């Protein structure tokens, strides 16, 4: 308590105290975000709001019910969320509790990249044609609307299955946004550039076309040769290997990737044929 003493030391102590509490609360919220525990938190807030209303309007029965819910709720939380609590305590013991958010982002990116690479490798070996466009900063909703909504979690199995020949969705482009396959069988604008090699087909021209009007990164698997190519900012890089593809994906999909005005694909393989 201050007791009328507003010294700089006391104010600093209170500021640090409040700051630490808010920091811990923020990290805990980030820890449970996206899990079923966040729904429980919303439920608790609703119960508290109902209890405040019942006290305000002197609703005796509702007060009793909400009181029982809050008194026994702690025990119910322990029983229902025992696995989550154990995992949180394990992370605290390893010192990972407050660094999980950054690790999670890296893990998501690695999983995303690995799914794309696995799918491309599978299709390249079997010469299955594919056109994969990955949204970055520029929205490409108008091209999503030309296809069939998927809105499914990105996995290499789903991505590969979409391009399997003689299936309804194999013709056209797949558009990916973050960890989600948004749509398939999408139509992309074809490039009119006279510098594109005549031996390249519609997929490569579509990949070049979308790269000329947006900052999207597009991966092409050739049906004729099984070669993998990448386009971005109007540049085409052909016959890239797995490591080059991984590096391209990391460079352009990581959260600290530079804007398209400052950075483009490094020159790899044969450019534009």
Q: What are phi and psi of 26, to 5 degrees?
A: -60, -45
Q: Evaluate whether 263 touches 257 at the Cβ level (below 8 Å).
A: yes
Higher pLDDT, 141 or 131: 131
Would you list the DSSP string of 42-88?
HHHHHHHHHHHHHHHTT-HHHHHHHHHHHHHHHHHHHHHTHHHHHHH
What confidence tier does 266 reach under pLDDT thresholds 50, 70, 90? very low
- Does residue 241 sit in helix, strand or coil? coil
What confidence tier does 24 reach under pLDDT thresholds 50, 70, 90? confident
Higher pLDDT, 258 or 206: 206
Given CA atoms 257, 236, 146, 111 in this order, what sign does their dihedral have? negative
CB burial of 62-83 (b: ≥16 within 10 Å; e: otherwise) equals: ebeebeebeeeeeeeeeeebee
Separation of alpha carbons 27 and 173, rounded Å: 39
- For the record, the structure tokens of 118 come out as 């696995």
Q: Pick one of 3.40.50.360, 3.30.2290.10, 3.40.50.2300, 3.40.1700.10 as the CATH number of 102-271.
A: 3.40.1700.10
Average pLDDT of the residues in 230-258: 89
235 beta partners: 232
Q: What long-range pairs does 76-81 form, CB within 8 A, spacing at least 24?
A: 77/40, 80/40, 81/37, 81/40
Question: With 60 as the cut, is the pLDDT of residue 76 above it?
Answer: yes
Given CA atoms 157, 159, 160, 166 in this order, what sign does their dihedral have? positive
- Does residue 265 sit in helix, strand or coil? coil
Question: With 90 as the cut, is the pLDDT of residue 176 above it?
Answer: yes
pLDDT given at position 40: 74
Which residues lie below 8 Å from residue 241, measured CB to CB, with a gap of 6+? 228
Sketch the domain layout of the chain as residue ranges. 8-100, 102-271
Q: What percentage of the chain carries pLDDT values higher than 90?
A: 46
pLDDT digits (tens, 9 = 90+) for 85-98: 676 667 666 665 55
Q: How many residues does the chain have?
A: 273
Exposed, middle or buried by CB within 10 Å (0-12, 13-18, 19+), for 214? buried
Separation of alpha carbons 88 and 84, rounded Å: 6
Which residues lie below 8 Å from residue 219, measured CB to CB, with a gap of 6+? 116, 120, 130, 131, 132, 134, 207, 228, 229, 230, 245
Exposed, middle or buried by CB within 10 Å (0-12, 13-18, 19+), for 232? buried
Separation of alpha carbons 78 and 273, rounded Å: 62
């Amino acid at each position: 308590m201050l007791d009328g003493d507003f010294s700089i030391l006391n104010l600093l102590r209170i500021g640090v105290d409040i700051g630490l509490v808010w920091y811990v609360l923020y990290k805990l919220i980030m820890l449970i975000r996206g899990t079923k525990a966040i729904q429980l938190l919303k439920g608790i807030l609703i119960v508290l709001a109902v209890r405040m209303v019942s006290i305000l309007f002197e609703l005796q029965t509702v007060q009793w019910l909400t009181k029982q819910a809050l008194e026994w709720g702690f025990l119910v939380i322990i029983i229902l969320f025992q696995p989550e609590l154990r995992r949180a305590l394990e992370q605290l013991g390893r010192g990972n509790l407050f660094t999980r958010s950054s690790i999670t982002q890296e893990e998501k990116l690695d999983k995303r990249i690995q799914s794309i690479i696995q799918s491309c490798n599978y299709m390249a070996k079997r010469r299955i044609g594919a056109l994969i466009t990955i949204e970055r900063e520029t929205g490409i909703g108008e091209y999503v609307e030309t296809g069939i909504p998927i809105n499914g979690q990105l996995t290499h199995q789903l991505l590969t299955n979409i391009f399997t020949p003689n299936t309804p969705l194999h013709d056209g482009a797949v558009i990916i946004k973050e960890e989600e396959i948004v749509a398939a069988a999408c139509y992309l604008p074809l490039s009119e550039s006279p510098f594109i090699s005549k031996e390249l087909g519609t997929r490569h021209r579509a990949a070049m076309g979308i790269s000329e009007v947006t900052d999207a990164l597009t991966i092409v698997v050739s049906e004729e040769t099984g070669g993998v190519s990448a386009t971005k900012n109007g540049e085409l890089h052909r016959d890239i290997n797995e490591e080059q593809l991984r590096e391209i994906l990391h460079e352009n999909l990581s959260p600290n990737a530079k804007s398209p005005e400052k950075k483009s694909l490094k020159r790899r393989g044969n450019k534009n044929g």
